[in-house]
Amino acid sequence: MSSRKKGVNTICTHVGEIKDEQFKGAISPLYMSTSYAFEDVEVKRYPRYFNTPNQVALSQKIAALEHAEAALIFGSGMAAISTALLAFLGTGDHVVLQKTLYGGTYNFINEEFPKYGIEYSFTEGLEAHDFEAKIQENTKVVFIETPSNPLLTITDLKAIAQIAKKNGLVSMIDNTFASPINQNPIDFGIDVIIHSATKYMGGHSDICAGAVASTQENIERISQLAKNLGGSLSDHTVWLLERSIKTMGIRVKAQNSNAQHMAEYLEAHSEIDRVYYPGLPNHPDHVLAKAQMKGFGGMLSFELNADYDASLFQKSLQLIKPSMSLASVESTVISPTLASHALLSPEERKSQGIADGLIRFSVGIEEPEDLITDIEQALKSVRSNKMAATH
Ligand SMILES: *Cc1c(COP(=O)(O)O)cnc(C)c1O
């Protein structure tokens, strides 16, 4: 075998696969055992120890995809996020958090950290100095998410990694929106890479899982706590996730290209006020996104004109599904005001830049022409509804 690094689709398809020695089957066999012979005392295999054959095989694939030494698979993205954070934070420690984080992460920190006596500060902005300004003597971790939800802001990976190194902090990223196909933060010096595998890794709206990738040393530290917290993933789902990841490269590349197409179409549309997509040259961080991402991703947001009702628009769509999750092969939309950010006050939403007409769009693998036809007919339907109401 040559030592040339394998291409990303080859990693997706082959790395970590378990050879079927017995029957020579083409794919990894599934081992559902929760009990393994005790003979080999060096490896006590047990699902909650994160070391069954299928768990180990999939971890190798995810580590390779993130250019990391090792990885761990979890029962959800939140199990991965909570375990990674708590592995490096204890009573009296402090963490610097990016201003805009996934709602579940935000809730976990706000609701649980006070119970553990862990201190935290959110940044005011996303520039390097905003992070530096929040560092205290007891700061241990800096946590970012880029591109962010729902406005697709971009945080500078290299700058954050440098700040972390200079101050002896562990840097962590929620890399879910980019996927390992579009962004490998380890190459920029970020220490711990976290994914909700429910999203692009799964990609078919049928798996809930999470993953963490890092150095061997960090993964050992995280796995110590993971065993105690118990957030492991069933081998059956591990096996399904391995299958899903085989097509992640081609799925995500199709989604990148569709999202770019849709962003350009929406931006030129007279009934759309604004489009947030890092692949558009007028995105405030387009140059930074280009420098640290291999593709701009399948997520974008847009603002309908003020006279279009977001709820009515969503109801009028026929192909694109209004739905909670994202990153699947089918296109979905959500109104942050009506769903993910509904609990915030109108003032809080405004301060976060979330307009009432904002629609978050997870672009799937359908033909872009069909997505455009659907959006056109939905806008038309909202218009004629309004005309009927005013006459
Ligand atoms: C969905 C999501 C999570 C949480 O993942 P679960 O698998 O739902 O626990 C975390 N971060 C981001 C960015 C997400 O989109």
Q: Catalytic one among 6, 36, 46, 48? A: 48
Residues 356 and 321 in one domain: yes
Which atom of ligand 1 lies nearest, measured to the CA of 79? Answer: 9
- Residues 377 and 289 both lie in one domain: yes
Q: Active-site residue 4, yes or no?
A: no
Up-side HSE of residue 198: CA atoms within 13 Å toward CB? 14
Asked if residues 267 and 257 have their Cβ atoms less than 8 Å apart, the reply is no
370 belongs to the catalytic site: no
The verdict on 236 and 286 lying in the same domain is no
The beta-carbon contacts of 25-33 under 8 Å, at least 24 apart in sequence, are 27/243, 28/54, 28/57, 28/239, 28/242, 30/54, 30/235, 30/236, 30/239, 31/235, 32/235, 32/236
pLDDT score recorded for residue 391: 65
Residue 2 lies in a domain: no
- Model confidence at 302, pLDDT cuts 50, 70, 90, reads very high
What are the φ and ψ backbone dihedral angles of 219, each rounded to 5 degrees? -65, -35
pTM of the model: 0.96
Residue 64, token pair as written in the block: 């390779």
Residue 1 lies in a domain: no
Q: Could you tell me if 227 and 361 lie in one domain? A: no
Domain contains 348: yes
Last residue of a domain, one of 245, 274, 308: 245
Question: Which of 245, 276, 293 is the last residue in one of the domains?
Answer: 245
pLDDT band at residue 40 using 50, 70 and 90 as cut-offs? low
Its sign, for the CA torsion 103, 79, 325, 178, is: positive
Q: Distance from the CA of 387 to the center of ligand 1, in angstroms?
A: 40
Concerning whether 191 is annotated as a catalytic residue, the answer is no
Question: How many Å apart are CA 330 and CA 38, to the nearest integer?
Answer: 45
Q: What is the pLDDT of residues 217-233, one digit of tens each?
A: 999 999 999 999 999 99
Domain count, the chain: 2
Which domain, by its residues, includes 125? 8-245
How high is the mean pLDDT of the chain?
A: 95
235-246 and 248-267 helices, crossing angle to 10°: 60
Indicate which residue of 45, 93, 140, 174 is catalytic.
174
Same domain, 236 and 381: no
Q: What pLDDT, on the 0 to 100 scale, is given for residue 218?
A: 98
User: What is the distance between the alpha carbons of residues 304 and 78, in angstroms, rounded to a whole number?
Assistant: 31
Express each pLDDT in 321-380 by its tens digit: 999 889 999 999 999 998 888 888 888 888 888 999 999 999 999 999 999 999 999 999
235 is catalytic: no
Residue 139 pLDDT: 98
Instruction: Report which of 306, 319, 322 is spatially closest to residue 357, judged by C-alpha positions.
Output: 306
Residue type at position 132: E
pLDDT of residue 342: 84
**List of E strands, the chain:** 70-74, 94-97, 119-122, 139-145, 170-174, 192-196, 210-214, 272-276, 299-304, 321-322, 332-334, 358-362
* 187, 214, 245 - which closes a domain: 245
> Cα separation of 199 and 188, whole Å?
23
Q: Give me the pLDDT at residue 43, please.
A: 76
Tell me the pLDDT band of 42, cut-offs 50, 70 and 90.
Answer: confident
Give domain status of residue 324, yes or no.
yes
